Amino acid sequence: MNRIFYLLTLLLSLTSCAQQYNIAGNSSVNSFDGRMLYLQVASGFQTSRIDSCEVVHGRFSFMGPVDSVVMAELFMDNEYLMPLVIEDCNLDVRMDNMGQRVSGGPLNDRLYRFLQEKERLDNEYMELSYQEMRMMMEGIAPAKIREELQPKAKKLSARIERLETKFIMDNYDNVLGPGVFMLLCNQYHYPILTDQIRAIMKKAPEKFRNHPYVKQYISTAEENMVRLQHITP
């Protein structure tokens, strides 16, 4: 009897020490209730769903084992919602009509400080579009509008690019570097090499270069650039 009790105690202690993620979420978006959420992880250009749950009365949760720290994406059905890092800790996800945020764990905190700063700059850039429309409605000449707004747009675009590039370079050695690189590249319809991507890869260490997504993206982008050179007269 004592032997059985000892074995049960040992099993429970090993289970409690196992690494696992715990994600507790809260949503104030009424249309989310009753819908399914999925955690997806990318390997190269392929993605796999590792967990799922239903939003019930604005609440949802994920829990599972952690073999390693990975960058993941939260989807509702096939609709992309937000990125997050699956770490061995308790994570809190908040979603409302103003946006989404993950807190808990050093990498998630670092990621969302970056995303908040990028969102602020993106909003400034978007405001220039609204300003352009207002100026057009006021009858201001297109040449005058370009003269006033183009320098501001170029300056903001450069600031956004520097922010993205610096963040990836500062995180070459962890999952945030390849993860944000993937978010950056997803804005293009197909893999291409831009000046920004070339700058990121120029200083990238082998660990970053050999990440499955980075390696496959760069290889495909180089092939696409060769094809484009053959097509362009």
Are 166 and 193 within one domain?
A: no
Domain residue limits at 6: 2-104
Are 163 and 177 within one domain?
A: no
Q: What integer is the mean pLDDT of 160-183? A: 96
Last residue of a domain, one of 142, 170, 198: 170
Question: Where does the pLDDT of residue 104 fall: very low under 50, low under 70, confident under 90, or very high at 90 and above?
Answer: confident
- pLDDT value for 181: 97
pLDDT of 124-138, one tens digit each? 999 999 999 999 999
Give the chain's mean pLDDT. Answer: 88
The set of residues, in sequence order, having a beta carbon less than 8 Å from that of 166 and lying 6+ positions away, is none
Are 16 and 99 within one domain?
A: yes
pLDDT at 233 over 70: no
Are 176 and 212 within one domain?
A: yes
pLDDT at 200 over 50: yes
Are 159 and 83 within one domain?
A: no
Domain count within the chain? 3
**10-to-3, 20, 64, 67, 216 alpha-carbon distances in Å:** 11, 18, 21, 21, 44
Instruction: Please state, in angstroms and rounded to a whole number, the distance separating the CA atoms of residues 48 and 227.
Output: 30
- pLDDT value for 232: 56
pLDDT of 40-49, one tens digit each? 988 778 888 9
Q: What integer is the mean pLDDT of 49-73? A: 90
- pLDDT value for 45: 80
Last residue of a domain, one of 170, 196, 220: 170
pLDDT at 175 over 90: yes
